[in-house]
Amino acid sequence: MLRLAYALLAVALVSSSARAQTSDAVETFAIVVGSNTGGPGQTDLRYAEDDARRVGKLLVDLGGYDAQAVEVLAHPSPDELRARIAKLRDKLDAIEAAGRRTRLFFYYSGHARATALDLGKDQMPLAELRERLLAIKTTVTVIVLDACQSGAFSRVKGAEPAADFSFNSKQQLDATGVAVLASSTGSELSQESEQLKSSYFTHHLLVGLRGASDANRDGLVTIDEAYRYAYHQTLLSTAETAVGGQHVTLEVDLKGHGEVPMSFPRAATSHIELPGTLEGKTLVEDKRSSTVIAETYKAKGAAVRIAVAPGEYRVIVRRGKTLSRCEVSAGGIVDLDHCTNQAIVEATTKGGDDDYVARPTRVEIMLSLGGEHDDAYTDNLKAFGYEEQGLFKTSSAIEAIVLRYWRGGIWFGGTIGHTTMPSWRQQVSGSDFEQNFTWGMTRVAAVSRTEYELAETGFFSHLSLYVQATVGLGIGRTRLVNADHMTFDDTHYGLALGGGFGLHLESPNILGFGMTLGYENDAAWVIKDLIGNTHVSGGNRVAFALSYGF
C-alpha cells in the first residue's frame, strides 16, 4: 500500500530538565499533521493520522515540548494549514523580536506527489510549504516529511544532500538554520505496515527517539543519531517488500557547530533494557493494548534502553531459528534465560504484508514409478496379439520441477518431464519374426502446490504435508518396428493433467537440501491409434524427489 509514508523528525528540544543543561533557553513549538484521505486515484491510508498523534505525544513526553505548544492537525485542508502556519509565524516573530531563541518542528504524514502534499482532494505545493515554513523567523527549523517522494522537498538552497548510507557530520550541524528529514528520496514510494500499524519510517524514528538510537548513551537523541537509526532500520524493514527498499534522507543548512537534540529518553519514568548480549530482531509489545511499541534489530554489543510507560510488556526476540518470548515489566531487563523459546516456522505470515520463507525458490528432481491406465487403446493392442513386456509392467518418469513461494504455504511453478511406458511385442504367426511397439510421453505443465507444516524433526528441520495439481501439454511419441525392421514413428499432442499429495522434508542446515515422498495420479489424453482410440497416459505412481532451496 502506497503511503507517503514515514515521517517524523522529533526535533524535540529542551524540557525543563534539559534546559538546565544548555547555555541558552529555547522555546519550542510544533505543528504535526496527519492525513489519511487520498486524493484522486489514491487509496486512503490507515495510519497517517495515528502516526501524527504518536509524534505529538512523544514530543511532549520525551521532547521537552509544552503540550500547549504542540498542535496536532488531522486531515486539514490546505487553507486550514496555511492559517495555522500564519498564526504560529506571528507568535514566533514576536518571540524572536524580543531576543529569545525558538525552535520549530513541522511533521507531515500522508499522501504526496513529487511536487505537492495531497490534503484530501486539494494539494499544497511543496515549494509553497517550504516558503511559508522558512519565512518564519526561528533559531532552528526542523521539518519531517513521511510521504512518497518526500525527498523532493528537501532541496533547500545551500543544503548538501547526504549520500546513501551516510549522514551529515556533527560539525555541519548547528543551533541556527534548517534541517529536513524525509522518509524517502525524491523518486521513491513510502510504505505503511499492517503489523506495526504505522509507517515503517515513523515507527523506526519513534523507536530511535525512545532511546534506541542513543549511540553514546548520554540520555539524549540528536538529529544525526535519529537519522542514522531511522535510515538503517527503515531500509532493513522495506528491503523485502513488494515496493522495495526505502532510503531516508537528511539535508541540513545549519551554521556553526552544535548538536540539535530531538528527544531526551533519560527523562522517561520507565525503560525496558535490551542487554548487550542480546542479538536479533526484537519486538516490544504493550500487553494492555496489544500494540507494537518498538521493532528493531538489536546488534550484539552495547545495551539499548527503550523509554516506555509503566506497565507490562512482551518482548519477542528472533535469534536464528529460535523465537524467544519474554514477559517484562517497565523498568526491567530482558533475560533470555527466563524466556519461553520455540523454533521458528519459516513459512509464516506476519500481519498481512510480510509473508516470509527462508528459501523462496525450490528445484526438485523427481522420479516416479507405477502402472499405466488400461483402456480401449491397450485392449486394441491385445486384440492384435501384442503382449506387454517387463516383469512388473510399470512405467517410469523423471521430471524437473521449479517452484516459487507465493504466500500462505502456496507455491507456483512449472515442470518438464518424460515418462517411459512398458513396451509391447507381437510374435508374427508361423515365424520367428516379431514386431515391437514402444511409446513415451513428455509433459510440460504448470504446477500449483500447497504445503502445510506438520512438525519439526531433528535433523530435518521441517516436515510438511503437500497437495499439488498440474495442467499442461502432453507430447506423445510412438515407434513401431515391424518384422522387416522398418520403423514407423508418430507424434501426438493433448491435454495433460495431474495431481498428488505426500510429505516434504527440508533441511536448511544442509545447504537447503530436502526430499519428497508422495503419490501421483496423472492423465494425458495424447496417444491415438488409427481407429480413434486415445490412450490415457499415466496412472497411479509412487514418487520420490530430491530438492534444493535457495
CATH architecture, domain 16-267:
3-Layer(aba) Sandwich (3.40)
**Length in residues, the chain:** 550
Grid cell for residue 207: 523507536
Helix axes 200-207, 223-238, angle to 10 degrees: 140
Mean pLDDT of 69-97: 92
Q: String of b and e for 33-56 (b: at least 16 CB within 10 Å)? A: bbbbbbbeebeebbbbbbbbebbb
Q: Please give the C-alpha separations between residue 334 and each of 188, 300, 426, in angstroms, as whole numbers.
A: 37, 14, 79
Q: Is the pLDDT of residue 151 over 50?
A: no
Going by pLDDT thresholds of 50, 70 and 90, the confidence category of residue 184 is low
- Would you state the pLDDT for residue 10? 33
Please identify which residue in the block is written with the cell numbers 510399470.
Answer: 394
Grid cell for residue 151: 525527498
Going by pLDDT thresholds of 50, 70 and 90, the confidence category of residue 248 is confident
Picking from 19, 96, 5, 16, the residue whose alpha carbon sits closest to that of residue 60 is 16
Grid cell for residue 30: 510544533
Eight-state DSSP code of residue 373: P
The C-alpha atoms of residue 500 and residue 260 are separated, in whole angstroms, by 64
Going by pLDDT thresholds of 50, 70 and 90, the confidence category of residue 145 is confident
* 16-25, 347-356, 407-416, range with greatest mean pLDDT: 407-416
- Would you state the pLDDT for residue 32? 96
Q: Is the pLDDT of residue 38 over 50?
A: yes
* 276-290, 390-404, 411-425, 444-458, range with greatest mean pLDDT: 411-425
- Would you state the pLDDT for residue 8? 32
Q: Is the pLDDT of residue 541 over 50?
A: yes
- CATH code, residues 270-344: 2.60.40.1120
Q: Is the pLDDT of residue 177 over 70?
A: no
**Strand ranges for 256-353 from DSSP E:** 261-263, 270-274, 280-286, 291-298, 304-308, 312-319, 322-329, 340-343, 348-350
Least confident of 148-152, 356-360, 430-434, 543-547: 148-152
Instruction: Give pLDDT tens digits for 94-127.
Output: 888 888 888 899 999 888 776 788 888 888 888 8
Mean pLDDT of 218-245: 76
The C-alpha atoms of residue 259 and residue 209 are separated, in whole angstroms, by 15
Which CATH code of 3.40.250.10, 2.40.160.20, 3.50.50.60, 1.10.3720.10 fits the domain covering 356-549? 2.40.160.20
| Mean predicted lDDT score pLDDT of the chain | 78
Picking from 411, 414, 503, the residue whose alpha carbon sits closest to that of residue 454 is 503
Q: Is the pLDDT of residue 239 over 70?
A: no
- Tally the C-alpha atoms within 13 A of residue 241's C-alpha that lie toward its C-beta: 23
Contact 510, 485 (CB under 8 A): no
Using CB atoms within 10 A of its CB, is residue 508 exposed (0-12), middle (13-18) or buried (19+)?
middle
Domain ranges of the chain: 16-267, 270-344, 356-549
